[in-house]
């Protein structure tokens, strides 16, 4: 059974809409991370967390918020989605295991 | 930027050949991770080398780390078609908030032809 899962796997959103990407891990890791991957840029860190209730800004946090309501769950929130946020988003947990990714398209 | 090279590199080899991928980094790190990513999937850790190791082997994989030049390499011996993937190196650096964060290079796209 996969240790890091993400939902949804695919999402189409409209510009200005709110988008929430969810991540769940079953390994009881303290640390969780959100990355985005764009062609030619590798993976870039958006937000991360050290445990329930904590969120920290990564290297490219602008336009994103994060929420860690529990040890298992870490969400990435786009309050006002823009086309530039079209990307593939990956969640990872403390042992650097990654989820399968969410493909987000903002029209 | 963390990395000396910013563009995704592409390598194409024949099955059975050996291949080496290189990366360099600018920020101090104690660990270099190497990941492979298959199309449509998340990155998967394949080998990890620490600053007190100059070389690490795992099956047909060999990673090296030179902390003095801040560079690492990943070699695959006798490459097979199933080695076709994008390979990333990443450094595990202590952040200002005393937690670790993984910073990735742009990767190397490896195509192994039969």
Residue B76 belongs to domain with CATH number: 2.60.40.10
- Helices vs. strands in chain B: H and E counts, helices first: 0, 10
**Neighbour tally for B15: CB within 10 Å:** 14
A25 alpha-carbon distance from chain centroid: 12
- Closest CB to A48: pick one of B44, B92, B101: B101
Measured CA to CA, the distance from residue B13 to residue B16 in angstroms comes to 9
Say if residue B1's pLDDT is above 60: no
Q: Write out the two tokens for B67.
A: 């902390």
Say if residue A43's pLDDT is above 70: yes
Q: What pLDDT is attached to residue B5?
A: 44
Say if residue B22's pLDDT is above 70: yes
Domain ranges, residue B28: 9-106
pLDDT digits (tens, 9 = 90+) for A60-83: 999 999 999 999 999 999 999 999
pLDDT digits (tens, 9 = 90+) for B56-105: 999 999 999 999 999 999 999 999 999 999 999 998 776 655 567 788 88
Q: Mean of the per-residue pLDDT values for chain B?
A: 87
**Neighbour tally for B77: CB within 10 Å:** 14
> Residues of chain B with pLDDT > 90: what percent?
61
Provide the domain count of chain B.
Answer: 1
Average pLDDT over residues A45-55: 93
Q: What pLDDT is attached to residue A40?
A: 67
Residue B46 resides in a domain: yes
Domain ranges, residue A100: 4-106
Residue B3 resides in a domain: no
Residue B40 resides in a domain: yes
Average pLDDT over residues A93-103: 89
Measured CA to CA, the distance from residue A95 to residue A29 in angstroms comes to 8
The sheet with strand A73-78 has its strands ordered as A4-7, A19-25, A73-78, A65-67
pLDDT digits (tens, 9 = 90+) for A9-27: 999 999 999 999 999 999 8
Residue B112 resides in a domain: no
- Closest CB to A40: pick one of B7, B44, B103: B7
CB B20 within 8 A of CB B73: yes
User: What does the DSSP assignment read for B40-100?
Assistant: TS--EEEEEEETT-SEEEETTEEEEEETTTTEEEEEESS--GGG-EEEEEEEEEE-TTS-E
- Give the residue numbers in B contacting A (CB under 8 Å), as ranges: 6-8, 33, 40-45, 88, 90, 92, 95, 97, 99-107
Q: What pLDDT is attached to residue B94?
A: 66
Q: Where are the beta strands (DSSP E) in chain A?
A: 4-7, 10-13, 19-25, 32-38, 42-49, 56-57, 65-67, 73-78, 87-93, 97-98, 102-106
Residue A25 belongs to domain with CATH number: 2.60.40.10
Contacts of A67 (CB under 8 A, 6+ apart): A55, A74, A75, A77
B107 to chain A: closest CA residue: A42
Say if residue B2's pLDDT is above 60: no
B7 to chain A: closest CA residue: A40
Measured CA to CA, the distance from residue B107 to residue B89 in angstroms comes to 7
Q: What pLDDT is attached to residue A12?
A: 98
Provide the domain count of chain A.
Answer: 1
Of B99, B90, B98, residue with least CA distance to B29: B90
Average pLDDT over residues B6-16: 84
């Amino acid at each position: 059974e996969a240790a890091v899962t993400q939902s949804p796997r695919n999402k189409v959103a409209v510009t200005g809409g709110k988008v929430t990407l969810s991540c769940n891990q079953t390994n009881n890791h303290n640390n969780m991370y959100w990355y985005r991957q764009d062609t030619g840029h590798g993976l870039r860190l958006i937000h991360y967390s050290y445990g329930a209730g904590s969120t920290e800004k990564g290297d490219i946090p602008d336009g994103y918020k994060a929420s860690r309501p529990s040890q298992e769950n870490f969400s990435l929130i786009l309050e006002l989605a823009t086309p530039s946020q079209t990307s593939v988003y990956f969640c990872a947990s403390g042992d650097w295991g990654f989820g399968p990714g969410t493909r987000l398209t903002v029209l | 930027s963390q990395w000396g090279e910013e563009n995704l590199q592409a390598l194409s080899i024949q099955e059975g050949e050996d291949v080496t991928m290189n990366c360099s980094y600018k920020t101090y790190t104690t660990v270099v991770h190497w990941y492979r990513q298959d199309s449509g999937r998340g990155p998967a850790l394949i080998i990890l080398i620490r600053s007190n190791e100059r070389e690490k082997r795992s099956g047909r994989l060999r990673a090296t780390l030179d902390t003095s030049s801040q560079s690492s390499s990943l070699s695959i011996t006798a490459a097979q078609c199933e080695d076709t993937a994008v390979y990333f190196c990443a450094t595990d650096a202590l952040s200002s908030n005393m937690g670790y964060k993984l910073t990735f290079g742009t990767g190397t796209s490896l195509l192994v032809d039969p």
